[in-house]
């Protein structure tokens, strides 16, 4: 744990780190409470794009975490911030209804938007929508993807994720999408800005060795892997990524911080 001294700020993933499904990870609620009591700067970064920050915070509170919406960076809120920097813009949204509010500041153009935002619309995708996104990008719109995951695990097995549509649109239009969520550097940078402390003092804690740990390290901050959520020993063993530390769970933070 030598690499974990001088911690001035902490970025934390949500799903798999603080909870799985509807169940908090053992010790996670106490850990977050402790960070707040000791006023250690922390901020939550998640690729979840089917819930708004408000709905996420509400869920977290029901699980016992006293978290405010403003403490969470989601891929959709980061996308909104990305667009805001380019104000004024028009956009067209392929996103879940639950996160449309994040983009309400931007006028929608049905024909020639400046930005096309691809999110989780799941079974709603059809050829007409794919073609519409294609034509908008060919007409000059910038392609923005909330994330580029390949698949996700449902109770019915693996399901194709929005990465398929993002990759397909990139191929057909000959462009490269701006991918907003982890592991993009911009996403981590936004989290780092929110913490307001130097990079060398920051650690990111996540259960995904690629998106969370490697992404953090590429951005110049330390990456800690937890053995909860989607963690699998064989994935860690096969990976070329070397986490700065591995925790049995997020609860190890208390020991490391000696608080």
Alpha-carbon distance of 148 to 179, in angstroms, equals 7
Q: How far is the CB of 100 from a copy of itself (least distance, A)?
A: 19
Decide: is 150 part of the binding site for a copy of itself (CB under 8 A): yes
Q: How far is the CB of 236 from a copy of itself (least distance, A)?
A: 12
Stretch that binds a copy of itself, among 62-70, 152-160, 188-196, 249-257 (CB under 8 A): 152-160
Asked if 250 and 227 touch (Cβ cutoff 8 Å), the reply is: no
Among 6, 159, 176, 193, interactor with a copy of itself by CB under 8 A: 159
Q: Contacts with a copy of itself: how many residues (CB under 8 A)?
A: 33
In this structure, which long-range contacts are made by residues 62-70, counting pairs with CB atoms below 8 Å and at least 24 apart in sequence?
63/18, 63/19, 63/22, 63/23, 63/24, 63/29, 64/24, 64/29, 65/18, 65/24, 65/28, 65/29, 65/32, 66/32, 66/33, 66/36, 67/32
Q: How far is the CB of 103 from a copy of itself (least distance, A)?
A: 22
| Angle subtended at Cα 89 by Cα 86 and Cα 95, rounded to the nearest 5 degrees | 100
- Measured from the CB atom, the residue of 24 and 134 that comes closer to a copy of itself is 134
Q: How far is the CB of 123 from a copy of itself (least distance, A)?
A: 5
**C-alpha atoms less than 13 angstroms from C-alpha of 84 in its C-beta half-sphere:** 10
Cα separation values, 228 from 15, 24, 167, 182, 222, Å: 10, 11, 29, 18, 18
Decide: is 170 part of the binding site for a copy of itself (CB under 8 A): yes
- Measured from the CB atom, the residue of 58 and 131 that comes closer to a copy of itself is 131
Q: Which of residues 219-248 bind a copy of itself (CB under 8 A)?
A: 235, 238
Stretch that binds a copy of itself, among 85-93, 169-177, 216-224, 243-251 (CB under 8 A): 169-177
- Among candidates 102, 101, 96, which has minimal Cα distance to 82? 102
CB atoms within 10 A of CB 183: 22
Alpha-carbon distance of 103 to 205, in angstroms, equals 28
Helix (H, G, I), strand (E, B) or coil at 152: strand
Stretch that binds a copy of itself, among 29-37, 73-81, 162-170, 218-226 (CB under 8 A): 162-170
Decide: is 152 part of the binding site for a copy of itself (CB under 8 A): no
Q: How far is the CB of 188 from a copy of itself (least distance, A)?
A: 21
Decide: is 1 part of the binding site for a copy of itself (CB under 8 A): no
Decide: is 198 part of the binding site for a copy of itself (CB under 8 A): no
Beta bridge partners of 144: 117, 178
Q: Which of residues 104-143 bind a copy of itself (CB under 8 A)?
A: 122-128, 130-131, 134-135, 138
Residues that bind a copy of itself (CB under 8 A): 122-128, 130-131, 134-135, 138, 150-151, 157-161, 163-174, 235, 238
């Amino acid at each position: 744990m030598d690499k974990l001294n001088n911690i001035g700020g902490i970025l934390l993933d949500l799903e798999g780190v603080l909870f799985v499904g509807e169940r908090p990870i053992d010790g996670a609620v106490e850990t977050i409470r402790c960070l707040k009591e000791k006023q250690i700067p922390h901020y939550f970064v998640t690729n979840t794009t089917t819930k708004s920050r408000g709905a996420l915070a509400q869920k977290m509170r029901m699980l016992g975490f006293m978290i405010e919406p403003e403490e969470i960076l989601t891929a959709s809120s980061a996308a909104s911030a990305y667009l805001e920097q380019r104000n004024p813009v028009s956009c067209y949204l392929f996103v879940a209804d639950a996160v449309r509010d994040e983009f309400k500041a931007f006028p929608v153009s049905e024909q020639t938007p400046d930005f096309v935002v691809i999110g989780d619309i799941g079974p709603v995708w059809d050829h007409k929508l794919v073609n519409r996104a294609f034509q908008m990008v060919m007409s000059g719109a910038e392609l923005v993807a909330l994330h580029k995951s390949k698949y996700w695990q449902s109770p019915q097995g693996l399901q194709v994720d929005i990465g398929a549509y993002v990759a397909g649109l990139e191929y057909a239009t000959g462009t490269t999408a701006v991918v907003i969520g982890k592991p993009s550097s911009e996403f981590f940078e936004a989290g780092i800005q929110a913490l307001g402390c130097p990079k060398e003092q920051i650690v990111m804690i996540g259960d995904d060795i690629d998106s969370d740990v490697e992404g953090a390290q590429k951005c110049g901050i330390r990456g800690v892997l937890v053995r909860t959520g989607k963690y699998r020993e064989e994935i860690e063993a096969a990976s070329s990524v070397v986490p700065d530390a591995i925790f049995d769970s997020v609860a190890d933070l208390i020991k490391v911080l000696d608080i």
